[in-house]
Amino acid sequence: MTIDSTMSERPLTITSLFRHGTSVHGQSSVATLGDGPVRRSDFTQVAEGAKRLAAALQRLGIRRGDVVGTLAWNNQEHLEAYLAVPSMGAVLHTLNLRLSPDQLTFVINHGGDRVILVDASVAPLLAAVLPRCPAVEHVVVIGEGEAGALGEAARYNELVSAEEPRFAWPELDERAAASMCYTSGTTGDPKGVVYSHRSVFLHSLAAWGQLELRNDDRLLAIVPMFHVNAWGLPYTGWMVGIDFVMPDRFLQPASLVRTIEEEGVTYSVGVPTVWNAILRHTDAHPSDLSSLRRVVVGGAAVPRTLMEAFRERHGLEIVQAWGMTETSPLGAVALPPKGVGSEEEWEYRSMTGRIVPGVELRIADDKGEVLPWDGKSAGEIEVRGPWVTAAYHRDPAPDRFHDGWLRTGDAGTVDHRGFVRITDRVKDVIKSGGEWISSVELENQLMAHPGVAEAAVIGVPDQRWDERPLACVVLKEAAPVTPEELSAFLAERVPRLWLPERWSFIDKIPKTSVDKFDKKALRARYAEGSLVVNELARAER
Ligand code: ADP
CA distance 102 to 80: 28
431 carries an active-site annotation: yes
H/E stretch holding 244: strand 243-246
Looking at the structure of the chain, the number of domains it has is 2
| Residue of 436, 467, 476, 520 marked active site | 436
**Residue 438 counted as domain residue:** yes
Question: CA angle at residue 233 from 230 to 235, to 5 degrees?
Answer: 115
Instruction: Tell me what percent of the residues of the chain surpass a pLDDT of 70.
Output: 98
Residue after which a domain boundary falls, among 158, 179, 197: 197
Predicted confidence band of residue 436 (pLDDT cuts 50, 70, 90): confident
Q: Which tens digits make up the pLDDT trace of 118-166?
A: 999 999 999 999 999 999 999 999 998 888 888 889 999 999 999 999 9
Q: Which tens digits make up the pLDDT trace of 38-52?
A: 999 999 999 999 999
Residue 185's pLDDT is what? 66
Position in ligand 1 atom list of the atom nearest CA 297: 23
**Residue 480 counted as domain residue:** yes
Question: CA angle at residue 10 from 7 to 12, to 5 degrees?
Answer: 120
- pLDDT at residue 541 greater than cutoff 50: no
| Residue of 137, 262, 369, 431 marked active site | 431
For 109, how many CA atoms within 13 A lie in the half-sphere containing its CB?
12
**Residue 275 counted as domain residue:** no
For ligand 1, pick from 225, 410, 423 the residue to mutate: most ligand atoms within 8 Å of CB: 410
CA distance 378 to 422: 9
Residue ID of nearest Cα to ligand 1 atom 24: 301
- Determine contact, residues 311/286, Cβ cutoff 8 Å: no
- Determine contact, residues 106/75, Cβ cutoff 8 Å: no
CA distance 410 to 417: 19
Residue after which a domain boundary falls, among 165, 197, 229: 197
DSSP 449: S
**Residue 232 counted as domain residue:** no
Q: What's 50's domain CATH number?
A: 3.40.50.12780
Q: What's 459's domain CATH number?
A: 3.30.300.30
Is any atom of ligand 1 closer than 6 Å to the C-beta of 184? yes
Domain that holds residue 515: 429-535
Residue after which a domain boundary falls, among 168, 197, 226: 197
| Alpha-carbon separation of residue 461 from 377, 408, 409, 432, 464 (angstroms) | 26, 25, 21, 9, 9
**Residue 245 counted as domain residue:** no
Distance 407 CA to ligand 1 centre (A): 13
User: Hey, is 414 helix, strand or coil?
Assistant: strand
183 carries an active-site annotation: yes
**Residue 393 counted as domain residue:** no
Predicted confidence band of residue 450 (pLDDT cuts 50, 70, 90): very high
Q: Is 456 left (phi over 0), alpha (psi -120 to 50) or beta?
A: beta
**Residue 464 counted as domain residue:** yes
**Residue 239 counted as domain residue:** no
Mean pLDDT score, 355-369: 97
- Determine contact, residues 160/49, Cβ cutoff 8 Å: yes
Is any atom of ligand 1 closer than 6 Å to the C-beta of 333? no
